[in-house]
Amino acid sequence: MKNFHANGKCPIRDVLSRLGDKWSMLVLVTLEANGTMRFRDIHNAIADISQRMLTVTLRILEADGLVSRKVYAEVPPRVEYQLTRTGESLMPHIRTLVDWAMQHMPEIVESREGH
Amino acid sequence: MKNFHANGKCPIRDVLSRLGDKWSMLVLVTLEANGTMRFRDIHNAIADISQRMLTVTLRILEADGLVSRKVYAEVPPRVEYQLTRTGESLMPHIRTLVDWAMQHMPEIVESREGH
DNA sequence: CCGGATCCTGTAAGATACTG
DNA sequence: CAGTATCTTACAGGATCCGG
């Protein structure tokens, strides 16, 4: 039987721990849709994320090399975020997932109401 | 600017709240790899899931119409799970995401070590 | 053997206030 | 403007017992 133990090499667990949190995909999709964005722009685009969670999420995405962070030595300060090459290469796959969700959400909602 | 507010119609939030939890994708992938499985089989395939969380996850997937649940009136009891049509239609998209993860994980790990 | 029900806890996430 | 720091809360998830 095929199994998926947590032996440290399971790609499903990896991708989940990266993208499965509450905000990462949303930030990635927002950045893809708008290109380069400042912190405030992202915060406005995703209204109900807290400042703290946006910072945390961006730091993780930056550490993973999916998002680049550019600080300008100005007053007032300016920080710009955008997808890296690696980040961009991920987006088509997320899009197919989102397309599937849009297509099948009606039947899922219907199924859920029967339970 | 394009945004993604939680107006109840955002497909990204929908797909995330469905598949973003800790175990759903793992259960789906396990069922796809092995076909029809009993509760105990799934529990063995995913060693570190608790009995409770496997029950909860299967109930959600069943309610969403992604997994079917068949109870046999036997002693000892037997319950078989398998993917529905809808569930199967989702799997190719998950697979592309997993493939991407396998391909890019080395550079992600490397990037992470630099931070 | 398959799971439901209950209780409990750690971590993720929100609110708020403050700084370079 | 773009964050930190701190406190607090909510919920996911684990342990355990029980029942058909």
pLDDT of residue A67: 97
Share of chain B above pLDDT 90, in %: 57
Query: Which chain A residues in 82-111 sit with Cβ < 7 A of strand C?
Result: none
**C1’ D6 / CA A51, Å:** 14
- Angle at the Cα of A5 from the Cα atoms of A4 and A10, rounded to 5 degrees: 65
**Beta carbons within 10 angstroms of residue B71's beta carbon:** 9
pLDDT of residue A53: 95
The pLDDT tens digits of the residues spanning B6-16 come to 666 687 788 88
Rounded distance between C-alpha atoms, residue B58 and residue A82, angstroms: 38
| B45 interaction partners in chain A (CB closer than 8 Å) | 1-4
The pLDDT tens digits of the residues spanning A17-69 come to 888 888 999 999 999 999 999 999 999 999 989 999 999 999 999 999 999 99
The pLDDT tens digits of the residues spanning B29-58 come to 999 999 999 999 999 999 889 999 999 999
Rounded distance between C-alpha atoms, residue A14 and residue B47, angstroms: 17
- Domain range B11-113, CATH architecture: Orthogonal Bundle (1.10)
Residue A50 approaches strand C within 7 Å at CB: yes
What six digits make up the tokens of B104?
């890019």
Average pLDDT over residues B81-106: 93
Decide if A97 and B100 are in contact by the 8 Å CB cutoff.
no
Decide if B26 and A14 are in contact by the 8 Å CB cutoff.
no
| A96 interaction partners in chain B (CB closer than 8 Å) | 93, 96
How many secondary structure helices (H) and strands (E) does chain A include? 5, 3
**Beta carbons within 10 angstroms of residue A87's beta carbon:** 19
